[in-house]
Amino acid sequence: MYREVTDMFDSLLKLEKFDNNKAMKIENDLKRLKLNWIQKDKDHIMFLSSQYTGVYNAVFSQLDMENFFKIFNTNAKLLKLHISKLEGVNPDWNVAINPMYQLCTYLMHKYINLNYKNLNNVLILIYEIMSYAMLTSILYNFFKRKQTIEEAKAAFEKLNYKFLLKKLGSWDSVIKYKAQTVLKDGRFYDDLVKLNTKLAMDTIAAIQTSYKSLIVNIASITHNGSGDKIDTTNMVVNTLDGDTDIRVIENASNYTNYIKSIIPIKQDFINKNLVNIISKRVKNADSEHIIATLNIISLDYSTNKKNDKFIDNIIEYSIEYLNSLNITNFKDLNYVINLKGYWSFGNNKTKPIKEVMKSYAYGATGKKTEWVLNGIIIASIIYIFSRAIIKK
């Protein structure tokens, strides 16, 4: 059994010694793969250049997937078998352990650590190819009936400029914009530098989350009032890349009432075992820092001027988001990786909550470094949600 996903790929793909010659060959092969996919037919060309959603039948087919793996003389079945055996991996996490996505993050890691001369271009190239597979899969799930130009145009006109698609004008531009997150100073760059199994899954989940949230909101506007029906209980509200008026709150009040009842009672509110579990799953979140932050929240909450609106929002927004991913079983902690991506990415809704939590975290720990504070903030938010739903 391999220690980390990077060790696995190094061994199986024989890339322990990743030099410039191998890097250039792989880059050229990926360029050909990208070009062949884009030029496959009119639908693929128009999909990327268009601002419309659900009109063009672009897919990353099984053959496309096989051609991708042929570059590395391997196949998805073999890789998935080994990935599933890695420590900390749940075989049911279909997106996070997807062999293609995992291989893409691994390649970015290798190119970054090689200090490749054409680094930015190759990172964007890999991100684009991963996005073609990820994005078209999500689109298929939400636009199974092909939309007419008139329907798509009407939906596009209803989008406001909070939507990246509206702001940038084409899916190709959206992908290239999102690709900046893997470049130096981007939100995923440091994780890609020191990649391991957990960081790879976190990165993949966060990228997929950002695309799915955008498409869910576009789909809700597109299908609203049409003959197409989508399950509105799975819609999110004002998530990562746009907002809608569709709301879902499933048992949120039960969880909220419970957590509010125990927050003032420090010995009930703070469960050290749960803190340790969350700490291990959220990068840069020391358990003592989390406990110190929760202590301050508990103390503040017991005063007459308690600030409790952020508690309601943590529970409500977390449930909304998890429902959007069809996650409704909270008996285990497998959802933590999803919530980490959601709260890390942030949006206009989550920003005020994170500001409140930042004040608590800084007051409790005195930490000023942004990445340290952010880890404490995200872990504390996830703890509050988890403590509410576990109820023990």
- DSSP string for residues in 35-77: HHHHTS-HHHHHHHH-S-SSSS-----HHHHHHHHHTTT--HH
Q: Residue 220 burial (CB < 10 Å; 0-12/13-18/19+)?
A: buried
Integer angstrom CA distances of residue 36 from 9, 67, 165: 25, 10, 24
Q: What CA–CA distance (Å, rounded) separates 281 from 102? A: 18
CA pair distance 13, 68, nearest whole angstrom: 13
Query: What amino acid is encoded at 123 in this protein?
Result: L
Give the 3-state secondary structure of residue 279.
Answer: helix
Instruction: Say if residues 72 and 159 touch (Cβ distance below 8 Å).
Output: no
- Give me the sign of the Cα torsion angle 381, 138, 324, 103: negative
Secondary structure tally for the chain: helices H, strands E: 20, 0
Give the pLDDT score at 344.
Answer: 83
Cβ atoms within 10 A of the Cβ of 311, count?
22
Q: What's the gap between Cα 176 and its chain centre?
A: 17
User: Using CA atoms in the order 357, 236, 155, 55, what is the torsion angle rounded to 10 degrees?
Assistant: 120
State the pTM of this model: 0.62
Using CA atoms, how far apart are residues 301 and 37, in angstroms rounded to an integer?
A: 56
* CA dist., res. 370 & res. 130, Å (int): 29
Nearest CA to 246 out of 232, 261, 259 is that of: 232
Q: DSSP class of residue 2?
A: -
Distance between terminal CA atoms of the chain? 35
Q: Within the chain, which residues score under 50 in pLDDT?
A: 225-250
